[in-house]
Amino acid sequence: MIRRTIESQLKALEGKYPVLSLTGPRQSGKTTLVKSVFPDYHYTNLESVDIRLFATEDPRGFLQAFGDRLIIDEAQHIPELFSYIQVLVDADPKKRFILTGSQNFLLLERISQSLAGRVALFYLLPFSIEELYEGGLTPVNYTTYLINGGYPPIYDKALDPSVWLQNYITTYIERDVRTLLNVINLTDFQRFVGMCAGRIGQLINFNSIATELSVSYHTVQSWLSILEASFITFRLLPYHSNYNKRLVKSSKLYFNDTGLACALLGIRNEEQLMTHYLKGGLFENMVISELRKYHLNHNTMGHLYFWRDSNGNEVDCITEIGASVRAIEIKAGSTVHPDFFKPLLWFRQLSGISDAYLVYGGDESYHRSGVELLSWKQGYFAVRG
């Protein structure tokens, strides 16, 4: 089993908080992780009809029935439990609960109301390159990783990524979307998900998507919130410092897993990827999602942004951890061209930020033109902190 990086963070805060919350997409390995890290906890799953009925009809009895240490999987199914958990942990310091869920906004909404100050929040995304590296499974090239993605079953069971990911998409749309929101036309929603994959790395334009789908602006906003709540997509916000420039205000759209995006785009092999118009966007998505995974897995409280002004000048990613700010440009090419450095050199002169990195599709890392040139295999290490 590939060791998850976040494991050490979970162990460090268990006992310091009476409640730990671990959320993430379905099949990201949450259940496997908490069972292996906390074997002395009793495990329950609210997707079981009998267990859910017990917890619904007798919440106090349910929470008391399994001892002082309890894992509640898919806890978002009965958010009313959180209020009862609050009472229990306040009354008895020996009580410990671990809550997992695959629907972020439902869980966090109730947690913020009932368990503020009592819960440590964690997020588990699919395998990162760092985790695959530590497990001896580093992809030979980035194209393989782009297509396969990082969902654990693909690696643990040696499954065909294209088949597994298509089944994942179908199950997600037919099951979770119905639960998260009353989507009447699932076909339109599936078209919407595919359109999002086709807009990776682009500014989100709700009106354009709504017009193309013949739905309302608010419907598109609601549907995107579903993708974000279930950890399919995320937004990259524009950097707040203006440096005396007019900046764009829209966010950019990315997927948490490039394998899922490739499946939605119909990309099933490297030959198709190499000639696809979104090859560069998918590579950019990979690097940014790897940085995001790093910060979540190591609990660094880092923030990721992009920077673009009204004239189209842009830096792909800005990382901010406290007072440390770093500019990162991302290029899929394996051969470095002088033009790759222009955005970073221009931005450094404008902003005064000295830490500049170029993550590219090659295998070698070195210093050039005042910029740290980083291979895709180690870029997440060098720009993490």
Reported as a single tens digit per residue, the pLDDT across 287-314 is 999 999 999 999 887 899 999 988 888 9
The dihedrals phi and psi of 380, each to the nearest 5 degrees, come to -70, -25
Choose the weakest-confidence range: 5-14, 18-27, 98-107, 333-342.
98-107
**What digits encode the pLDDT tens for the residues 170-219?**
988 777 777 777 777 788 888 999 999 999 999 999 999 999 999 999 99
Domains of the chain: 7-123 (3.40.50.300), 129-382 (no CATH)
Using DSSP's 3-state secondary structure scheme, residue 101 falls into: strand
H or E segment to which residue 377 belongs: none
Total H helices, total E strands in the chain:
19, 13
Could you give the CA distance from residue 70 to residue 97 in angstroms, rounded to a whole number?
Answer: 5
Cα angle, residue 258 at apex, residues 253 and 260 outer, rounded to 5°: 100
In the prediction, which pLDDT does 354 show?
84
- Which pTM does this prediction carry? 0.94
For residue 290, give both structure tokens: 């790897």
